[in-house]
Amino acid sequence: MRKVRLSARWTALLVTLAALGALHTTLQADDLQTVQAPRFEVDPLWPRPLPNHWILGSVIGVGVDSRDHVFIIHRGDSTLNQRTESTAKGAAGECCSAAPPIVEFDPNGNFVRGWGGPGTGYEWPSSNHGITLDDKDNVWIGGNGANDSHILKFTRDGKFVAQFGTPGQAANSNDSSHFGRVAKISFDPKAGEAFVADGYGNRRVAVLDMGTGKLKRYWGAYGNKPDDARTPPYDPSAPLIQQFRNPVHCAEPTDDGLVYVCDRPNDRIQVFHKDGSFVKEVRVAPATRGDGSVWDIAFSRDAAQKYLYLADGKNERVYVMDRQSLEILTWFGDGGRQPGQFFAVHSIATDSKGNIYTTETYEGKRLQKFSYKGIGSVKRGSQGTVWPGQR
């Protein structure tokens, strides 16, 4: 009997070891799988330090102009605490003070100027959100504060141009005169149209005339008429709901007549024609709850805009996707404080050379650059932190 028992135990052990060996072999095979895709590495020395003991708060927008100057918008009131704040009278030390809300850097990462905040002729958002530059290098921002039902437009050096919508209006996804806590504005310069991710209060994509700010059309998920009725909490196993959830976080038009929409808490990208007719959708990390996985989108700068870059602030990564098929090819990043890692990666943009810029909200509070290294063989799946020289 003792020999039989020992034999059975040895058999079970051998089966377990064989299974572990098979798993190890599978993991090694996965590690060896590669795909042709854009390659990036973080630039740990970009941008250069800010002047005047300035520091950043939650950085909730990034845009690039025609000169490849990078603009960010942040929330200075989230910057300071009793251990860092310096005041003019009775300061405990020299450091620190909040940088102006909008900060501009040149392509080398040098500080150019800072501006923004309340001024004559317009009402600054109570919680600024998103920054984008149009084809004339005008700066557009929204706001996701409780009373932020408007959009502001400035020249790139901070001169006020226009205010669209009236602050202090209640959310209403079918209103034609104001907005509902706008997340971000993007552009189709040939058509003269601005695409508004509208947003934190409303549940729609709104399309405006870039010159007058007049609403031309709008739509909800699947091209449906938006409905502001309360929705149940997101459940990955439940049927997909027929409306966007708040926030609708981006609406990015492409040169071939499509619009890619970030339905953030639903963990999905929805694709439309520019008239609002639905094309297709994809779910990304659909088990993600809370903040969701689909935060912001940018495109590669080749003529076909072949690749889509998706910021996922909950899982702390940037996906590289084939734009037409919406297949995830690879991704980079990890949670952490070091260069190339993320804490709530919120916004993403590309410059004319293909470099990627990301910002981080909450306690991330920074801007990072990922230098484009051409198309090449990269690991399919997670690349981890894309540190210089690691390939």
How crowded is residue 278: how many other Cβ atoms within 10 Å of its Cβ?
A: 14
Residue 106 pLDDT exceeds 60: yes
Assess if residue 32 is contained within a domain: no
| Structural Rg of the chain based on CA atoms | 23
Average pLDDT over residues 153-171: 97
Assess if residue 24 is contained within a domain: no
Give the residue among 263, 262, 284, 280 at the shortest CA–CA distance from 271.
Answer: 280
Burial pattern 236-251, b for ≥16 Cβ within 10 A else e, equals eeeeebebbbbbbbbb
Classify residue 122 by its DSSP letter: B
Residue 126 pLDDT exceeds 70: yes
Using pLDDT thresholds of 50, 70 and 90, give the confidence band for residue 259: very high
Domain boundaries, position 51: 39-382
CB-based contact 97:77 (threshold 8 Å): no
Assess if residue 17 is contained within a domain: no
Q: Can the peptide bond before residue 286 be classed as cis, meaning omega within 30 degrees of 0?
A: no
SS3 90: coil
Assess if residue 159 is contained within a domain: yes
The CATH number linked to 242 is 2.120.10.30
Q: For the ranges 81-85, 244-248, 298-302, which has the lowest average pLDDT?
A: 81-85
Residue 58 pLDDT exceeds 60: yes
CA distance 167 to 180: 9
Assess if residue 267 is contained within a domain: yes
Residue with tokens 């020992």: 6
Q: For the ranges 74-83, 231-240, 320-329, which has the lowest average pLDDT?
A: 74-83
Residue with tokens 């149940």: 232
Using pLDDT thresholds of 50, 70 and 90, give the confidence band for residue 15: very low
What pLDDT was estimated at residue 77? 84
Cα atoms found within 13 Å of the Cα of residue 260, Cβ hemisphere only? 25
Classify residue 225 by its DSSP letter: P
Number of domains in the chain: 1
Q: For the ranges 84-88, 149-153, 189-193, 315-319, which has the lowest average pLDDT?
A: 84-88
Give the residue among 238, 166, 269, 246 at the shortest CA–CA distance from 199.
Answer: 246
Cα atoms found within 13 Å of the Cα of residue 182, Cβ hemisphere only? 34
Assess if residue 387 is contained within a domain: no
Span 275-329, pLDDT tens digits: 999 999 999 999 999 999 999 999 999 999 999 999 999 999 999 999 999 999 9
CB-based contact 345:313 (threshold 8 Å): yes
What pLDDT was estimated at residue 80? 65
Assess if residue 25 is contained within a domain: no
CB-based contact 83:370 (threshold 8 Å): no
Assess if residue 27 is contained within a domain: no
